[in-house]
Amino acid sequence: MSLKVKKDANRPMHRDEVSKWQWTWKEMKKNKTAYFMLAPFFILFIVFTVLPVFLSIIFSLTDFNMLQMPNWKGLTNYTRLFVEDEIFMLAIQNTIIFACVTGPVSYLLSLLVAWFVNELPPKIRAVVTLVFYAPSISGQVYLIWSTLFSSDAYGWANATLMKLGIITDPILWFQDANYVMPLCIVVALWTSLGTSFLAFIAGFQIVDRSMYEAAAVDGIKNRWQELWYITLPTMRPQMMFGAVLAITNSFGFGGVVTALCGFPSVDYAAHTIMHHLDDYGGSRYEIGYASAIAVVLFIIMFGSNILVKKALSKVGE
């Protein structure tokens, strides 16, 4: 047998032998199937998710209204947003309040409940998980809150307060600027133990039991220390995933408000950027202006994701 290497056209080329582009091209041809398998999803993804983002940025610099040819307007839409539009300022304020409350609270609540659930025996665990998870998958079940807090005496909240003699006339919960925001936050939190909650439950379960035993020998004294030094660092990837979802949801809750309080909400008390976007894009067809609103919302969402990711990388250090 000869040890001489045969010159073989099909021999895989080594990366150093060819230029970078040639190598890439060869790899691409070799993996044709990979691209074919990716293509259907990827094309739809580009058309319906990526393209809209770029279109928003372009439209936001014009006065496009779906009827006439758009004119280039530069940054006029943005100056109008931030200088002239007082309702937008209110919307930004409400959005930030809402996101700053529901985002962290729902995240911590999911983590806390998942941790507690994990301490339960497996059979009870499944039931308790269902109780906490059910509101988030049950669609418009949150409409029941409009019955519980209805504006007449047949609502549970009014009936209870009236029976206790605290109030004499029913409170118009979802039509009162003082109550709208807190109530919507409660309802949003109630529906917020969703996908990230399940990811946390799973995260707690994949931690290796022997790590806890080793830790106990090394001087971990209670479950808090166990959580901070062992569990959380192990499930950091799940926490990252959960954080992304929590942020996304905390900015996208507009539907709940519209369903409970109508649109526009009383005195714009629960008016968010999402509603503003809906108003100009969906009802007034001022696409250029609406796109500017969308771009602002994009920047806020993206910025908060980056900040939170930075903060989370410090967990357990």
Partner 1 sequence: MAMKEKVVKLRTRGHRVVLNRSAGGDTGITVVLTLLGIVMFVPMYYVVIQSLKPLDELFMFPPRFYVISPTFDNFADLFTLMSDSWVPFSRYIFNTVFITICGTLGNLVFASMAAYSLAKLRFPGRNAIFQLIVTSLMFHSTVNQVTHFIILSAFGWVDTYLSIIVPSMATTMGLYLMKQFMESSVPDTVLESARLDGASEFRTFLIIAMPMVKPAWLTLMIECFKSLWNSGSSIYIHSEELKTFNYAINQIVSGGIARSGAGAAAIVIMMSVPIAIFVLNQSKIIETMGSSGMKD
Among 18, 138, 228, 307, binds partner 1 (CB under 8 A): 138
- Contact residue for partner 1 among 172, 211, 259, 266 (CB under 8 A): 259
Query: Does position 268 bind partner 1 by CB under 8 A?
Result: no
59 binds partner 1 (CB under 8 A): yes
Q: To the nearest whole angstrom, how small is the minimum distance from the Cβ of residue 100 to partner 1? A: 16
Q: Footprint of partner 1 on residues 209-228 (CB under 8 A)? A: 212-213, 216, 220-223, 225-226
CB of 220 to partner 1, least distance (A): 6
Identify the CA nearest to 226 among candidates 196, 243, 198, 204.
204
Give the residue, chosen from 75, 87, 163, 228, that forms a contact with partner 1 under the rule CB under 8 A.
163
Closer CB to partner 1, residue 71 or residue 225? 225
Phi-psi region of 66 (alpha: psi -120 to 50; beta: other; left: phi over 0): left
Shortest CB 110 distance to partner 1, Å = 11
Residue 148 is a binding residue for partner 1 (CB under 8 A): yes
Size of the site for partner 1 (CB under 8 A): 116
Cα–Cα distance, 241 to 44 (Å, whole number): 24
Q: Rounded to an integer, what distance in angstroms lies between the CA atom of residue 94 and that of residue 185?
A: 11
Q: Can you tell me whether residue 72 is helix, strand or coil?
A: strand
Q: Give residue 90's Cα distance to chain centre.
A: 22
Residues numbered 39 to 58 that lie near partner 1 (CB under 8 A) are: 40-42, 44-45, 47-53, 55-56
Closer CB to partner 1, residue 88 or residue 133? 133
169 binds partner 1 (CB under 8 A): no
The Cα 156–Cα 173 span in angstroms is: 12
Nearer to partner 1, 4 or 128 (CB): 128
Per CB under 8 A, the list member of 83, 130, 167, 177 interacting with partner 1 is 130
User: 83 vs 163, which CB is nearer to partner 1?
Assistant: 163
With binding defined as CB under 8 A, does residue 98 bind partner 1? no
205 is a contact residue toward partner 1 (CB under 8 A): yes
99 touches partner 1 (CB under 8 A): no
* Encoded tokens for 267: 């005195």
Burial class (CB within 10 angstroms; exposed 0-12, middle 13-18, buried 19+) of 28: exposed
x/- letters, 270..309, toward partner 1 (CB under 8 A): ----x--xx--xx----x--xx--x--xx--xx--x---x
Restricting to residues 62-91, which ones interact with partner 1 according to CB under 8 A?
A: 66
Nearest distance, CB of residue 141 and partner 1, angstroms = 5
Amino acid at 271: H
What distances in angstroms separate CA 198 from CA 139, 147, 205, 316, one per listed residue? 17, 29, 11, 21
- Residue 90 or 207 having the CB closest to partner 1: 207
Question: What's the min distance (Å) between Cβ of 50 and partner 1?
Answer: 7
Give min distance, CB of 311 to partner 1, in A: 11
Q: Measuring CA to CA, which residue among 66, 63, 264 is closest to residue 180?
A: 264
Beta carbon of residue 140, minimum distance to partner 1 (angstroms, whole number) = 6
Tokens of 26: 């060869």
